[in-house]
Amino acid sequence: MISSSVPPWLPERPECERQRSGHRVGRQSSPALDSLLELGPEPAKQHVGRVLAPVLDAWRKNPRIATGALRGLARERRPQVAAEVLGCIRDGQIEVNEFHVAAAVSACEKGCAWALALGLLWDMSTLLVAPALFSCSAAISACEKGGQWLFALYLFQCLPELSVRPDVVTCNAAISACARAGTWRCAHSLLASALSGCMGTDVISCNAAMSACAKHGRWKFAITLLGSMAGLSLVPNVISRGAAASACETTGQWLCALALFASMGSLQVRPNAVSCNAAVSACRKGSDWRPALSLLASIAEFLLVPDIVGCSVAAMTCAEGSRWQLAFALLGPLPELHVTPDV
């Protein structure tokens, strides 16, 4: 029997800070799906069973109908309901296939129920259903969204034992999990494994690895990785350069941050507020107010409007450099830019 419980080595209930959506996505629905959604995010098993009783015969004849219902629950981020539906399918002596499990794990990924996702993968062995790449990728993504990078990394490393060959999407999920936790060594190790193997990499892989570097101020690694993207036939985007600039900002490497920001124009990459703020903040940590002002003035060339973060950091930079008049001049026009000054 499939249950909504989790393996013994996981906590009883999944933890997630992200809100689960209670709004309909607006896609094709069915009476059974509508009734399941009306039960709420964590219904009792007997309530799910009563809803499914009239449709189990149809699902037995056509398992794709069950897959459609589970995918609908995934769209609505109802992982607990999806797990209960899987249990009812098995109790109704309907063969559970890999598409059913994949849809349920996808619901866990979208609903940020990482422990439940791992529990469903754990149950697949008792169902004699071989884990599929999509199911494993979704479970790794669920761990990433739940901040459980160790579980994500462990599952990724177990894929060969499960006879699952990882692809670039799976690798990206594992790298992103490490990046979210700031474990830059693990992120780089995964990226190196992908490059040496046959998984391949893309811009997302490199961006995630550079984001991990940014959290620990490993700006040299970030810059090196950014420079190596061309050799991988990858074109850095604004997120790539923003991540590298953030790595420079962490350690006050304002010259590198400014160079990255300036290079965006020549490479036809339009900077965003994140990359601009990172460069301004790097100038502050470098105790140099002049490039901070110059940078803030130049963002108009990119049709950007200064936000409260950039203006505040630039103002603090001027104040710390005993340039109080410039600091007040920066904060003065904020209401005209529809930016509300904070404390």
DSSP symbol at 252 = T
Final residue of a domain: which of 135, 152, 181? 135
Token digits of residue 82: 């999806």
Given a cut of 90, is residue 82 above it in pLDDT? yes
Where a domain ends, among 114, 135, 156? 135
Cα separations in angstroms, 78 against 140, 146, 229: 18, 16, 38
Q: Given 84, 101, 135, which residue is the final one in a domain? A: 135
Nearest C-alpha neighbor of 81 from the set 112, 114, 37, 144: 37
Q: Is 285 among the domain residues?
A: yes
Indicate the burial class of 9 (C-beta count within 10 angstroms; 0-12, 13-18, 19 or more): exposed
Q: Decide if 153 is inside a domain.
A: no
- The reply to whether 150 falls in a domain is no
pLDDT exceeds 60 at position 202: yes
> Do residues 175 and 146 make contact, with C-beta atoms less than 8 angstroms apart?
no
Residues 340, 309: contact at Cβ < 8 Å?
no
Return the ∠ at Cα 181 (arms to 175 and 186), rounded to 5°: 45
Q: Could you tell me the two tokens for 55?
A: 């449709």
Other CB atoms closer than 10 Å to residue 294's CB: what's the count?
12
Q: Alpha-carbon torsion 223, 229, 230, 235, what sign? A: negative
The alpha-helical segments, DSSP class H, found in 125-218 are 133-145, 149-158, 168-181, 184-196, 203-215
Is it the case that residue 307 has pLDDT exceeding 80? no
Domain shared by 125 and 251, yes or no: no
Angle at Cα 126 formed by Cα 123 and Cα 127, nearest 5°?
A: 90
Residue 53 counted as domain residue:
yes
DSSP 161: G
Q: Name the DSSP letter for residue 54.
A: G
Is residue 129 located within the same domain as residue 243? Answer: no
Q: Which residue has the higher pLDDT, 160 or 306?
A: 160
Asked whether residue 191 is assigned to any structural domain, the reply reads: no
- Of the ranges 49-63, 269-283, 298-312, which one carries the lowest mean pLDDT score? 298-312
* Cα–Cα dist 291/304, whole Å: 17
Residue 148 lies in a domain: no
Give me 293's structure tokens.
Answer: 């002002």
* pLDDT for res 8: 43
How many domains are contained in the chain?
2
Q: Which domain holds residue 313?
A: 237-343
Distance CA 67, CA 98 (A): 10
Look at residue 141 and tell me if it is in a domain: no
Enter the tokens of residue 232: 């991988």
Looking at per-residue pLDDT, the higher value among 69 and 266 belongs to 69
**Measured torsion, CA atoms of residues 37, 43, 48, 49, in degrees rounded to the nearest 10:** -170
Pairwise CA distance, residues 284 & 124, whole Å: 53
Residue 199 confidence (pLDDT) above 80:
no
**Pair 228, 194: CB distance under 8 Å:** no
CA distance 314 to 311: 5
Give the angle subtended at the CA of 97 by the CAs of 176 and 6, to the nearest 5°.
55
Claim to verify: residue 6 and residue 119 sit in the same structural domain: yes
**Residue with the larger pLDDT of the pair 258 and 72:** 72
Which of 115, 104, 106, 146 minimizes the C-alpha distance to 2? 104
pLDDT greater at residue 85 or residue 251: 85
Q: Is the dihedral of CA 36, 37, 39, 40 positive or negative?
A: positive
Does residue 274 belong to any structural domain of this protein?
A: yes
Residue 318 or residue 53, greater confidence: 53
Helix intervals (H) in the chain:
31-38, 45-52, 56-61, 63-75, 79-91, 98-110, 114-124, 133-145, 149-158, 168-181, 184-196, 203-215, 219-228, 238-250, 254-266, 273-285, 289-298, 308-320, 324-331
Q: What is the CA radius of gyration of the chain?
A: 25
Instruction: Looking at the structure, tell me whether residues 122 and 247 fall in a common domain.
Output: no
Residue 98 in this model has a pLDDT that exceeds 80: yes
pLDDT, residue 102, reads 93
Check pLDDT > 80 for residue 179.
yes
Place of tokens 């301004």: 280
